[in-house]
Each structure stands twice: as C-alpha cells, then as structure tokens.
C-alpha cells in the first residue's frame, strides 16, 4: 500500500512549491475522533547524518497508503521530485524504501580450532572469544564443555608435619577426594598436597575445598601460561616451568644397554612413535625410573623416560614438521638424551597449606623434600612454614636445570674443536639448533628472577617469631616469613648462575658460527689469491705462445729456436708480475721489515731479563 496526502493537490504546476506550503506540509492534520483512522504506515529510520540533512532540506509531502491498484502512474514530474529528494539525503515519511541487500565483504573465521592450534586457549574445545573466564569448581563442568575431557589417573601425596611428627599418604583420585572431606588433624601444623598429573575431578575437589580462585584453576588447566605469581585474598598462585635432562629409552626394554651403533635409530623411532600417536595411549612417567649407564656423558646421572615432552614441543606452534626436524637434529640426540619441559602450578594458602600440580615429574621434586621433612632438625621441619616449603619446591625445580648447562658445555666443547680443526657449513646448522634450544631454555628461566623478587617483596613486616605464631591463622593472610625471604635469595643465586651460563654458551655458539663463516671466507679468499697469482704468471706466457703460434709465412723469429722464446717470455712475465702485484710486493716488504724490528726488540728484552 502506498500513501498519499488527503489534502487536495495544489493547482499550481510549478515544480517549486511556495515556502509556506512546505512548512505547512510538515505537520500532518490531526484526525478527529469520529473520522476513520488511516492505515498503518511503516517508516524507515535513516542514519543520524541523513536525519540532520533532512532537517535542512525541504521534506516531501507525506501521503496516506492505499491500494496499489488505486495509485496512478507516476508522472515525469513526480519521478523527478522523488529522485531529487533521494539525492538530497532524506526519505519521505511514509514512502516505502527497499532495504540494502549488501552483505559484509569480510566474515569472521569460526574454524580456528579446526584449522590451527590455538596457542592461548588451553584445551581449545568449547572455547570461543568472549567466553566466561575461569573454571568454577562449584559447577560439575566448571562452566566449560572442555573440562570433562581432562581426566587422568593421578599420583597424589599428602604430607602432614609438625615439629614432632610427620605423616605421608599416597592416594589415587577417588581416595584423595574422600580424604579431603575429612578435617585436618590438630597436631598437623603444615600440609603439602603434591599432585602428579592433571585431572578435573582432583582439581575440582581441591578448588572447592580450599576455595581456590577460578582464574587460578583455569591457569592450571591451560599449559601455555607464562611464569608468574598471582595474589588472591586467601592464597597465592605460582606458575613456573620445570626443565630437566632425561634419557629417551624404548618402553619395551628394561635397560638401555643396547649397542651404541643402533641407539640413535631406536631413539628416533621411539620419538616418532610416541609423538605421532594418540596421546591417550602413551604410558605414564614413573617417578622411580632406573638410571642408565651408557651413551650418556659422564657429567650427570639422568632419569630415564619413554615419554618426554621435549623442549621443542613445549608451548610450540602446530608446525609438526618443524618440531620433528628440530628433535631429530637436536644437539642431545647423539647422546640419546632430551630436555623434558612441563608446567608446575603451586598454591600457597592462608591456612599454611601448599598445593602443587605437576604434569609428570612430581617424584623428582618430592623425594628430596620428603627426605628433609622426615629428618628432624632441618629448616623445613623445624619451621613448619608453608612459604619455606614453596621455596624448597622452587629450589628443587631450578636445581633440576643445572645439568643442562653441563650437558651443553660439553657439547659445545666438542663442536668448538671440530670448528677449529675442520670448519664446515654442517657445523653451523648444528650450532643454530643449539642456539634455538638455549633460547627456549632462557625463555623459561629468565622470568623466574622476577618471580623470586616478587615473592621477596611480599615479605611480612612481622618478626620470625610473630610470623611463626600466625602461620596457622587464616585471618593473617598469605605470609612470606623473614626466613623464607632469606632462603629465596639462594634460589635467586642458583637461577642467575644457570641463566648466565646459558647466555655465555649462547654467545660462544654465535662466535663459533662467525668463526666458521670467517674461516670459510678466508679460505675462499686465499684460493682466489692463488688463482690470481697463477693467472698473472701464465697470462704473458699465453700471449707469447699465441704470438709465436701464428701461421705466418714470413716469420723468421720462429726459426731462432726455443731459447729465443724464453728470452722473450721471462722478462715479460717478470714485468707483468711487478706491474700487477706491486701493492702485494710492497706490503710484503713492509711486513718483513716490521717483523725484523719486532724480533730484534724481543731479543733485547730477553737479554735484559736474563741479565737481571
């Protein structure tokens, strides 16, 4: 239905109506109560800019809608008026208008999780931009669809200790959940919950029991976090990376006493099998692994594992070809070794409890600390301080990285001898891979300095005696005692020593690469120098030989014998050498004179030393 003004059209045929008529046309006549209501008219809302323009431009005359069959055909004058109105930037009040059918040129890509590995979304399943942050332990699925997929058997150790007593319990998932329902005994001043493995049922039970923040729970499940410490009202949350040197062995064998000639091939076969297969079918890492006796350098005693997540795979991109190539050509591959990396999450709660989550290496940290806790008289046992226990865990994690510096020092020592004796381009490739591995180790070690400093800055203003009395009082909040502040300095020293050693190794590797290319370039220049010398010598001989080899009929010099040829060739060669190599000859003469002076000065100095 189109609409038309009920007032009679003016008899004037002028295309420009009088201004008073235009003003009057903007106000529609108010219908009387008894008059029939006009049909509903739909309006198209224009943009603000168009509305602003319409206020300045003369509006079109509004018309009431009626049947399409009653609408007379548009005249050329009416069409011109409507065209000019549209060009003026306004729309008639009751005129229907076709909406724009254009669609956006660019569309949001929704299949990122299917096409690419999302580096900052944790599990990736069920994630979408703008999702609710954090995992709520009070909900069965945490508020995210990806949570039920995180399920694994965990090895959980609970250690309760005081000044006079220590108890240790080993639990599985179900047993640990039931254990958390029981209250802590009164004699236990401090508790350590050490979880080896990540499973939602365990994380949910701990989170709901200890009222852990849902953002911290999200960071536990997201394995791509940075090294940091977050402070919450009732607990502190620490994330850092554990790096250690391991042997890569075949899971079907009980030892690595196989022949050294086939050990490298077996290692790469194992890596391809485990890294390309289903992660759910990989065997777990036993914290009580045996120690190998061959194929490893004599500087460390390493843990063996058949399932390492190597340094190249930890927080890496989805480029499988690049990752596998770097693993196969790693500097540690000839020694049947690898660097294992995993994320460690630690909670320090206000009720003097420490909760630590490891992916697979909890036993490496647990054994030395439990030994200290079971020995009366140690600082951990006597203080019953949860913050000092956190310091012990961090110190053990950093100490596991110390063998890395020894391993790469030995490897670069061998490469240095090869570079000095016989440099080649292949050595530069090995050094580049070595630098890549060192850079990644430094990426995870350097932020620990800032982490330790942040913990030290959070030191309580209480004395050690006052802080010891307030450790079990949740109202005091998270306490970093003066003793912990002191021992964190030792952790900082160890971290700085490791990072400085790795930076020195990195610089040595870069210097070796420069030495390789400088040596190769110098050898090429020397070769070009020799070729130039030979060319200069034989250039006049070639010319003279060509000259005497001409087939001229009247050439009496040819009949004078070979002595005549050499009589012409030798002076020509000498003159050519002197002319073309005059700078080289001059520099050589200057060098000889200088060396003689230096030698005479040294002889005089030695004579003075002998006479004294």
DSSP of 208-256: HHHT--HHHHHHHH-S-PPSEEEE-SSEEEEEEEEEEEEEE--TT-S--
3-state percent breakdown (helix, strand, coil) of the chain, nearest 5 = 50, 10, 40
More confident: 593 or 291 = 593
418 token code pair: 């090869």
Report the mean per-residue pLDDT for the chain. Answer: 76
pLDDT of 546 reads: 80
Same-domain check for residues 274 and 378: yes
Same-domain check for residues 203 and 265: yes
- Cα end-to-end distance, the chain, whole Å: 124
Same-domain check for residues 273 and 351: yes
pLDDT of 12 reads: 42
pLDDT of 166 reads: 94
What is the three-class DSSP state of 600? Answer: helix
Same-domain check for residues 64 and 167: no
309 token code pair: 């997540």
More confident: 553 or 62 = 553
pLDDT of 297 reads: 41
8, pLDDT greater than 60? no
CATH of the domain at 501: 3.30.460.20
pLDDT of 320 reads: 86
329 token code pair: 């050509």
136 found inside a domain: no
- Answer for the pair 153, 192: CB distance below 8 angstroms, yes or no: no
Same-domain check for residues 490 and 547: no
270 token code pair: 């194992």
How far is it, in rounded angstroms, from Cα 591 to Cα 595? Answer: 6
How far is it, in rounded angstroms, from Cα 59 to Cα 75? Answer: 19
* Among the listed residues 197, 227, 198, 221, the one whose alpha carbon sits nearest the alpha carbon of residue 136: 221
Same-domain check for residues 61 and 175: no
157 found inside a domain: yes
531 found inside a domain: yes
pLDDT tens per residue across span 329-386: 888 988 888 999 999 999 999 999 999 999 999 999 999 999 999 999 999 999 999 9
502, pLDDT greater than 50? yes
61, pLDDT greater than 50? no
110, pLDDT greater than 80? no
pLDDT of 102 reads: 53
Q: Give the number of domains in the chain.
A: 3
- Helices (H) and strands (E) counted in the chain, each on its own, are 18, 10
Same-domain check for residues 535 and 446: no
pLDDT class of 190 with cuts at 50, 70, 90 = very high
Of 483, 500, 517, the position where a domain reaches its end is 517
pLDDT of 440 reads: 92
> For 280, which DSSP code?
G
313, pLDDT greater than 60? yes
102 found inside a domain: no
User: Could you tell me the residue range of the domain that residue 44 belongs to?
Assistant: 2-87
pLDDT class of 275 with cuts at 50, 70, 90 = very low
pLDDT tens per residue across span 74-98: 444 444 444 444 444 444 444 555 5
137 found inside a domain: no
123 found inside a domain: no
Same-domain check for residues 157 and 80: no
Give CA 511 to chain center in angstroms.
25
Give the start-end residues of each E strand in 24-107.
64-66
| Residue ranges in 147-199 assigned as alpha helix (H) | 173-180
How far is it, in rounded angstroms, from Cα 212 to Cα 235? Answer: 7
pLDDT of 277 reads: 41
44, pLDDT greater than 90? no
298, pLDDT greater than 60? no
Same-domain check for residues 478 and 567: no
The dihedral built from the CA positions of residue 501, 507, 512 and 515, taken in this order, carries a sign that is negative
Of 451, 484, 517, the position where a domain reaches its end is 517
Same-domain check for residues 528 and 510: no
Same-domain check for residues 509 and 527: no
H-helix or E-strand containing 586?
helix 582-611
By CB atoms closer than 10 A (0-12, 13-18, 19+), residue 578 is exposed
Of 67, 87, 107, the position where a domain reaches its end is 87
142 found inside a domain: no
Q: Taking the model in full, what pTM does it have?
A: 0.66
pLDDT of 250 reads: 58
How far is it, in rounded angstroms, from Cα 58 to Cα 20? Answer: 11
pLDDT of 146 reads: 60
Same-domain check for residues 163 and 253: yes
- The percent of residues above 90 in pLDDT, for the chain, comes to 39
H-helix or E-strand containing 54?
helix 48-56
45, pLDDT greater than 70? no
By CB atoms closer than 10 A (0-12, 13-18, 19+), residue 434 is buried
451 found inside a domain: yes
pLDDT tens per residue across span 129-179: 777 888 888 888 777 766 657 788 999 999 999 999 999 999 999 999 999
Highest mean pLDDT among 113-117, 226-230, 471-475: 226-230
């Amino acid at each position: 239905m189109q609409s038309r003004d009920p007032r009679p059209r003016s008899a004037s045929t002028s295309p420009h109506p009088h201004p008073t008529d235009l003003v009057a046309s903007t106000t529609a006549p108010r219908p009387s109560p008894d008059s029939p209501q006009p049909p509903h008219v739909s309006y198209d809302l224009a943009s603000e800019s168009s509305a602003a323009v319409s206020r300045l431009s003369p509006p079109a005359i509004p018309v009431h809608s009626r049947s399409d069959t009653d609408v007379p055909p548009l005249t050329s004058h009416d069409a011109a008026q409507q065209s000019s109105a549209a060009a003026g930037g306004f729309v008639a009040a009751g005129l229907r208008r076709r909406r724009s059918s254009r669609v956006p040129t660019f569309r949001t890509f929704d299949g990122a999780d299917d096409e690419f590995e999302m580096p900052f979304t944790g599990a990736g399943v069920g994630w979408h931009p703008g999702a609710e942050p954090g995992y709520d332990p009070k909900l069965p699925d945490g508020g995210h669809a990806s949570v039920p997929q995180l399920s694994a058997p965990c090895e959980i150790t609970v250690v309760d200790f005081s000044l006079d007593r220590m108890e240790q319990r080993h639990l599985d998932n179900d047993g640990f959940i039931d254990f958390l329902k029981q209250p802590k005994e009164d004699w236990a001043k401090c508790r350590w919950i050490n979880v080896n493995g990540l499973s939602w049922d365990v994380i949910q039970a701990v989170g709901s029991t200890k009222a852990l923040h849902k953002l911290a729970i999200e960071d536990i499940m997201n394995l791509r976090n940075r090294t940091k410490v977050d402070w919450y009202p009732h607990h502190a949350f620490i994330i850092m990376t554990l790096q250690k040197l391991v042997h890569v062995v075949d899971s079907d064998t009980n030892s690595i006493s196989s022949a050294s000639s086939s050990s490298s091939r077996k290692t790469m076969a194992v890596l391809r099998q485990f890294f390309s297969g289903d992660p759910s079918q990989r065997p777990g890492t036993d914290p009580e692994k045996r120690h190998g006796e061959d194929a490893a350098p004599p500087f460390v005693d390493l843990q063996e594992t058949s399932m390492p997540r190597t340094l190249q795979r930890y927080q890496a991109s989805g480029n499988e070809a690049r990752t596998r190539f770097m693993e196969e050509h790693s500097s540690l591959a000839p020694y049947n070794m690898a660097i294992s990396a995993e994320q460690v999450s630690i909670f320090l709660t206000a009720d003097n409890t420490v909760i630590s989550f490891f992916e697979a290496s909890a036993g490496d940290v647990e054994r030395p600390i439990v030994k200290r806790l079971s020995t009366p008289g140690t600082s951990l046992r006597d203080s019953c301080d949860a913050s000092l226990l956190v310091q012990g865990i961090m110190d053990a994690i950093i100490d596991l990285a110390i063998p890395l510096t020894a391993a790469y020092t030995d490897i670069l020592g061998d490469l240095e001898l090869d570079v000095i004796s016989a440099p080649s381009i292949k050595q530069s490739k090995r050094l580049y891979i070595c630098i890549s591995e060192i850079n990644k180790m430094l990426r995870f070690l350097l932020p620990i300095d800032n982490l330790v400093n942040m913990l030290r800055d959070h030191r309580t203003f209480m004395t050690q005696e006052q802080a010891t009395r307030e450790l079990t009082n949740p109202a005091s909040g998270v306490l970093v005692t003066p003793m912990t502040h002191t021992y964190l300095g030792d952790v900082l020293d160890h971290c700085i020593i490791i990072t400085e050693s790795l930076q020195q190794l990195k610089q040595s590797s870069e210097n070796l690469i420069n030495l390789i290319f400088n040596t190769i370039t110098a050898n090429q220049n020397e070769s070009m120098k020799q070729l130039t010398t030979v060319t200069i010598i034989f250039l006049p001989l070639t010319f003279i030989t060509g000259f005497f080899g001409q087939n001229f009929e009247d050439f009496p010099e040819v009949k004078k014998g070979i002595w005549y040829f050499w009589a012409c060739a030798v002076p020509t060669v000498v003159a050519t050498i002197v002319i073309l190599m005059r700078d080289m000859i001059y520099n050589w003469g200057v060098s000889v004179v200088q060396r003689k002076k230096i030698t005479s000065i040294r002889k005089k100095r030695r004579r003075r030393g002998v006479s004294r």
